[in-house]
Amino acid sequence: MNIHTTKSHTMPMADTKTADRDWWRGAVIYQIYPRSFQDSNGDGVGDLLGIVGRLPYIASLGVDAIWISPFFTSPMKDFGYDVSDYCDVDPMFGTLADFDVLIESAHHLGLKVMIDLVLSHSSIEHPWFTESRSSRDNARADWYVWADAKPDGTPPNNWLSIFGGSAWQWDAKREQYYLHNFLASQPDLNFHCEEVQDALLGVERFWLDRGVDGFRLDTINFYVHDKEFRNNPALPVEERNDNIAPKVNPYNWQNHLYSKNRPENLAFLHRFRAVMDEYPAIAAVGEVGDAQRGLEILGEYTRDGEYVQMCYAFEFLSKTLPDAERVGEVMARVARVAKDGWACWAFSNHDVVRHATRWDLPPAALRAYVTLMLCLKGSVCLYQGEELGLPEAEVAYEDLQDPYGIEFWPEFKGRDGCRTPMVWDAEQPNAGFSEGMPWLPVAREHLPLAVAEAEHVPGSLLHHYRRAIGFRHSHRALMKGTMEDLTVEGSVIRFRRLHEGEEIFCAFNLGADPAEVALPEGSWHAIGSELNATAGQDGHAALGPWQCVLMLKAV
């Protein structure tokens, strides 16, 4: 794929009178990991023009928007999540002109474009950090989180990095420690400094002026640290889990009260939202990385229309299989702690083992779970390749790129297994991803599941995703409605969705054995036969393994 074009640097705004500011509520968002989606120039790394060439495929899924993981200028120590220039495109991904083409092409196809902003930290190579570390009295001396050593030379407190070890790195020039919640090459910005906030809001405006429709906000609950640098308390053993960090990482042993989740974060999010509201129909989804209070933080950050529109926590990105009981628990908790907020659900992304492998799901279960997700209250993020049923790829140690996996191998193999190149056509070199040597190997086990093969199989998972997305969009109650009467009976979860006179009854058998469910009283008719939904009779429905019943109330 060779695409060459240019465009002016600004994009026209939508008409504020016709723009749907509520488009995000119930939207289906397709996540693109640009390094691995499509390479247009043969260098083995995916790029922006590669995405442009594949936009018709994404539009064919019926999704509302795309979310593009970072493509900004970066030394790539964490593959773009270490930014050295927030307002430019890294040459490996293309140019700002290429990005303008992407925006225009996506909008032409009816797709919104959301980009991944990494505001909690920058790269160590960012000019802001270069200046900040140069002395203790320069103009940006307090733009990052600096602290003196303890009298014995050890770090200021016990905070840990999510990537392993202390969250503090000694800097010989300033003779101070700087905070890094992730890699040592990713120093944390100091959100207690108003100039830092102003600069980041300037980044927000830059991309809004360029035509983006919203943002995915990386590590949204990590922005602000405790000014007093108080030690995090230990977390009781019974409360530890590996939803956020692998089990072998002692990061899980702390209750992170002071290194993240600070209440001051809301003031910045309020400012961020105010800038979004100056533009038509802009939305943001925040990533809440917390193993204990993720849903509560989701509720805090999305309430009252003052902060971000959506957040996602890691309840359905964890290793725990979301059986009927688990799904019921999560949705009931959301109803309690985020009643006035809005969740965005995902089963897979670029940071976790693909859910087909993580939960060891058969094809029928993969169909049932995506249908369920598209019937839950909230918006939805789909990760590239999950619509094909891609399992986690096996990546040999010598091929690893992820510093996280290299640090904890072999107990934790890192994130490369979910980041291998997208498979488009098994008959093409590198499955159609690139004419050059891919940055990560194309997984041989993925080849039979490639897009070209799935397109020709009417019963493929790919077509099921299309049907499920289309079904969601055909019923406003599923996109924007309330959820009522949630109950769990064995392997069956049931609930109703209601919106402006439309009422839908949903029941899912999330088990490998047959089950039966009582149907609601009244006049209903069966829908969703294209999704393998059964039609009950005589007040009951017999559900096969991984089967559902969907019914629309007559009006």
Q: CA 56 to CA 121: how far, in whole Å?
A: 34
Q: How high is the pLDDT of residue 536?
A: 84
Pairing of strands 214-217, 112-117: parallel
User: In a 10 Å sphere around its CB, with 0-12 CB exposed, 13-18 middle and 19+ buried, how is residue 12 labelled?
Assistant: exposed
409-465 residue pLDDT tens: 988 899 999 999 999 999 999 999 999 999 999 999 999 999 999 999 999 999 999
How far lies 2's CA from each of 38, 42, 511, 527, in Å? 11, 9, 47, 44
In this prediction the pTM is 0.95
pLDDT value at residue 411: 87
φ/ψ (deg, to 5) at 52: -55, -45
Q: What is the pLDDT of residue 14?
A: 43
Instruction: Tell me how crowded residue 470 is: count the other CB atoms within 10 A of its CB.
Output: 14
218 included as an active-site residue: yes
In sequence order, the 6+-apart residues with CB closer than 8 A to the CB of 42 are: 434, 435, 436
**Six token digits for residue 80:** 């773009």
- The Cβ-side half-sphere exposure at 419, using a 13 Å CA radius, reads 23
Q: Which of 152, 278, 340, 521 is catalytic?
A: 278
Question: How many Cβ atoms are within 10 Å of 78's Cβ, its own excluded?
Answer: 21
* CA-wise closest residue to 190 among 138, 121, 135: 121
Q: What is the pLDDT of residue 7?
A: 33
Query: Where exactly are the structural domains of the chain?
Result: 482-553
CA distance 129 to 123: 8
Task: Kindly state which CATH superfamily the domain 482-553 is placed in.
Answer: Golgi alpha-mannosidase II (2.60.40.1180)
Q: What pLDDT score was predicted for residue 160? A: 98
- What local confidence, expressed as pLDDT, does residue 66 receive? 98
pLDDT digits (tens, 9 = 90+) for 130-160: 999 999 999 999 999 999 999 999 999 999 9
Query: Which is catalytic among the residues 98, 218, 351, 402?
Result: 218
CB atoms within 10 A of CB 174: 18
Which residues of the chain have a pLDDT value below 70? 1-18
Indicate the SS3 state at residue 207: helix
CA gap 483, 23 in Å, rounded: 19
